[in-house]
Structure 1
Amino acid sequence: MRSARHFERTRSRDLRAAQTSAEKMLWGKLRGRWLGGHKFVRQEPIEGFFADFVCREHRLVVEVDGATHSSEEELAYDARRDRALREAGFRILRFQNDEIFRNIDGVCDTILNALAAHPLSP
């Protein structure tokens, strides 16, 4: 019998391979500790959900939302997801695809400010 961890690893790998253009652009700024020396990972399983990007040290989740996050059903799903992540001790930043395309430096500044606003987790 396959474990839940096997599913999570496989699903994370699939999501990383199918990332959107906006996710690729932001990952180019986050990977390899390029953003202020902070380590980020992609498609991290947390509480039954997959977070786009996570800085584990600062317990910060960064989500990239496209046009599919606009219906009532999708907004309700995002609210449930955000609640579960917050209950697990994570903070969440959300950015729209077009915001990343138009102002990647501003997005990075917002992420850096969020990281600086909270001390490292124990």
Structure 2
Amino acid sequence: MDESNKLPFNPALQELTQYLRDFSSNAEIVLWNRIKDKQLGVDFSWQHPIGDFVFTFFCKEKRLAIEIESDAHTHPDAYFSSVQKQEALKDYNIRVIQLREEDIVKDVEKAVKLIKSSLT
């Protein structure tokens, strides 16, 4: 594998990623059912760790991370975490899409269209 393409991995997050998948929100499940199995032409992983962060969904091929925001993300500390994630990812050429849980549940097709347009 080309080392310049390699993403940092923190094995300490493996247990957390499994927990997050086991206790997923309805919005995560609804969206996962629309993007899994290469339905958009690329692979996505669910609760993907990169460095010290976990992203709801990640497409390695397109270097696209998808974050699903809930009410918990409105806390001021969550804002700083989001900013830290984006700063940490600049060196790895990863783009981040942020979607709100309520918007996904209300109109999953709109969320899928946004993801599709971000894959090009």
TM-score range, shorter chain: 0.7 to 0.9
- Taking the aligned partners of 1:18 and 1:65, their CA distance within structure 2 comes to 15
Deviation at 1:100, TM superposition (A): 0.2
Structure 2: state its 5+ residue gaps: 1-9
Q: Which residue of 1 aligns with 2:30?
A: 25
Letter in 2 for 1:109: K
Q: Which residue of 1 aligns with 2:97?
A: 93
Is the deviation greater in 76-85 or in 52-61?
76-85
Deviation at 1:73, TM superposition (A): 1.8
Q: Which residue of 2 aligns with 1:120?
A: none
User: Residue 14 of structure 2 is aligned with which of 9, 20, 25?
Assistant: 9
Identical residues among aligned pairs (%): 23
CA RMSD of aligned residues (A): 1.2
- Taking the aligned partners of 1:14 and 1:67, their CA distance within structure 2 comes to 19
After TM superposition, the structure 1 = structure 2 runs for residues 1-122 of structure 1, keeping only pairs within 5 Å, are: 4-5=10-11, 7-35=12-40, 37-116=41-120
- Taking the aligned partners of 1:67 and 1:87, their CA distance within structure 2 comes to 29
* Total equivalences in the alignment: 111
Letter in 2 for 1:20: S
Deviation at 1:13, TM superposition (A): 1.2
Letter in 2 for 1:103: D
Deviation at 1:8, TM superposition (A): 2.6
Structure 1: state its 5+ residue gaps: 117-122
- Work out whether residues 47 and 88 of structure 1, in 8 Å CA contact, stay in contact via their aligned partners in 2: no
Q: Secondary structure at the match of 1:33?
A: coil
- Taking the aligned partners of 2:78 and 2:64, their CA distance within structure 1 comes to 22
Is the deviation greater in 104-113 or in 9-18?
9-18
Q: Which residue of 1 aligns with 2:5?
A: none
- Taking the aligned partners of 1:99 and 1:67, their CA distance within structure 2 comes to 12
- Taking the aligned partners of 1:82 and 1:72, their CA distance within structure 2 comes to 16
